[in-house]
Structure 1
Amino acid sequence: MNPSTLIELPLRYKPWRARHLKLVIRDMGGAARQPEGEHLAHLRGAIDWLCRAQDVRDGHTDAGGVAAGWSFEDGWLPGYPETTGYIIETFLAAAPVLGCLELLDRAQRMIDWELSLQADDGAFPGHFGEPGSHPVIFNQGQIMHGLVAGYTQLGRQDCLEAGLRAGHWLVAQQDADGCYRKFEHNGVPHVYNTRAIWALAAMGVVGNEAGFIAAARRNLDWALTQQRASGWFATNAFVPTRHPFTHTIAYAIRGFIEVGVLLSEPRYLQAAEAAARGIMAVQREDGWLAGTYADGWVAHGSYACVTGVAQMALCWLRLAQLTGDERFRSAAQRAIDYVKRTQRLDDEDEVVRGAIPGSAPIWGAYSRFEFPNWAAKFFADALIMDLGDSVVPPVPAAARGRAR
């Protein structure tokens, strides 16, 4: 972006504001140029920022939810049920690593907030839960991840009960072929729902619900029909006319990995590995990945979807654990290092310090001019997993060694 472009930005981004202008000018000098520190320093930065996102009120009245992020357009956003759900897992994982018991209390408050939003039929609201918002399949699954964690890690029976109601709602929306066509973002199917179905499968395992397991298999079997010879997935973008972001590609891969583990299903793991190797082959030496990819892993866009880079680090780390192939670990570490260079740990601005941008440069097409909370979440997960060669979230005990 050259300086003349600034005056062409839509007015809703308010580029004239000092904070916004400073961030744009910094990235004009080259995105991802911050120094790389130790994992723990970057982890503390990301978790501290997520705590601020949970604490912010700024006109909002959420009592435990984590703000969706901060944007040029709206400042701090309202609490986001979808991503608060899976941030519960992150805080539970980070608490012992950072020696911070406060994170356990924060996770409990997130759970309480989520449970207050569930409807009688088991559905959770989509978007920010504002009046008139409708449930969304993907969002439902991400909230269920938090309920699985609340039950398996904190022993909360109310999480199991709510999770079972949520799972029955998910199963009821599924078409006979395993695809979801109702309650979908933009009204179209998405392969990346595999990450939601991961939560359904986990709840099926811990809650002994065979119907959940069968529905999970149906969805992933449908998703397999969308995989191309290159390993890339069709029907995986937010809208059909566009290429999928690295973000949704990683969502799909992680879903295949973890459902494959839960159900001891080699076909799902093989699909994940094919996609993960395909995108690994086009990763730059500095860890950068393009914002979107077409079939054959043809890159589109000159920006990085930083969120997706962090997520791919998670996928590669998980596959390194499962396959023993250290090339996956090396790719993950390059990705982590890249994300580190987008995080400012010493910035005096509390909005910026510790945050992870949606894109690099910040005006890239994914979460443009935003610091989304899920970017910080996935980066924190990757750091925790790499530090201890652990799994975030841990595989439920009921699934370990489970036979098909």
Structure 2
Amino acid sequence: MFEKVLIANRGEIALRIHRACREMGIHTVAVHSTADADAMHVRLADESVCIGPPSARDSYLNIPAILSAATITGADAIHPGIGFMAENAQFAEMVEEHGFTFIGPTPEHIRIMGDKVTAKRTVQSLGMPCVPGSDGPLDTVEDALATAKRIGYPVLIKAAAGGGGKGMKVALGPEQLREAYQLARGEARGAFGNDQVYMEKYLAKPRHIEIQVLADTHGNAVHFGERDCSVQRRHQKVVEEGPSPALNAEQRAHIGGIAANVVRELGYRGVGTIEFLFEDGQFYFIEMNTRLQVEHTVTEMITGIDLVREQIRVAAGAPLGYGQDAIRFQGHSIECRINAEHPDTFMPSPGRIDGYHAPGGLGVRVDSALYDGYRIPPHYDSLIAKLVVHGASRNECLMRLRRALEEFVIGGVETSLPLHRRIISEPDFINGSYDIHWLEHLLGLKG
């Protein structure tokens, strides 16, 4: 097992990784920008190294600085966390080349799954159901028009190297497609430096279902069930829950078995999430995230398994030590992503925390690096806390979540807490009858 792990991230996820390491008897190194000198994970880590100024490009994305910090502190491994360098194949390669263990998949698998077209081809060859669409990148608008004619409108143009909704456009007919194709390519070029796009059939009212998987280096792979991430705004997840209100045990076992088999056949290493659209009882692969997910907490609550601990163990070469039959799903869990932003306009709201009280009690978990007096910097993602609740049933979980949201106090800045209180009070959410467009319709962002 590792003796010292460098955590190449910040905020609540850096603190989450630190906690897992400390419980395993592993020393931690926190890297931070000058803006994060007072961050909680920096305060708690065994060692800390400043790697640059506030800009992420000059600090958390500065590969030489991170590797230098690992060298001078004598770290054995580097955990990339979520975002920043977590799905950067070049970073994973350089980590290994410099003699450290990358706590994540191989660079090869990061590359395969990072390119959406290659990922789709790869998993489809292994029996994964996919959304009907183009066989590869669409080099011309004529290619796009021919593909749309074959699969039928409406269609969705997506960036091959994309994510987070960038480079994604819907077209209802040929004229819209001509415009959408050009807009998507331009947006993809600006966001990812890669203007390749591909096409999928646009599903009208799908749910976003993802399967959590884990594989070791000994040929073992398991799944931990699904999370329903359909409550989204502009393709960004807002609320996640597990198990999904839309799936039954048979569907769960079916798609989970396919997902586990795919990562086993790939020789994958570590945790990963395979994401699907689900409509009319059918699953359609959309992408695989080769890292820990923000919402991994939901899975931990319903399985009792520490996914970060498992991630570290597998990276150190340990076998899973259990099979699929040993994984049990208990009760229900819901996570609310709390952001420092205005609940109506969604404008970021950095600033000093003036009054902080986290909810507690049975089945309530708060993953956050906030503390009273902490100043939220304006340079990074606005996620500041995750409220995760567990109950014996979905109804108990909802009641507990309502109570926890009432208790949660974050003063001094605007937050999305009022939005979450509204969401969980809506009849459609209470009934579990929502899709990926539901929240935007509720907020008046779609007609």
TM-score in terms of structure 2 length:
0.27
Q: Which one has a larger percent strand, Structure 1 or Structure 2?
A: 2
- Structure exhibiting the larger radius of gyration computed from Cα positions: 2
Higher RCO, Cα 8 Å, sep 6+: 1
TM-score in terms of structure 1 length:
0.29
Q: Which one has a larger percent helix, Structure 1 or Structure 2?
A: 1
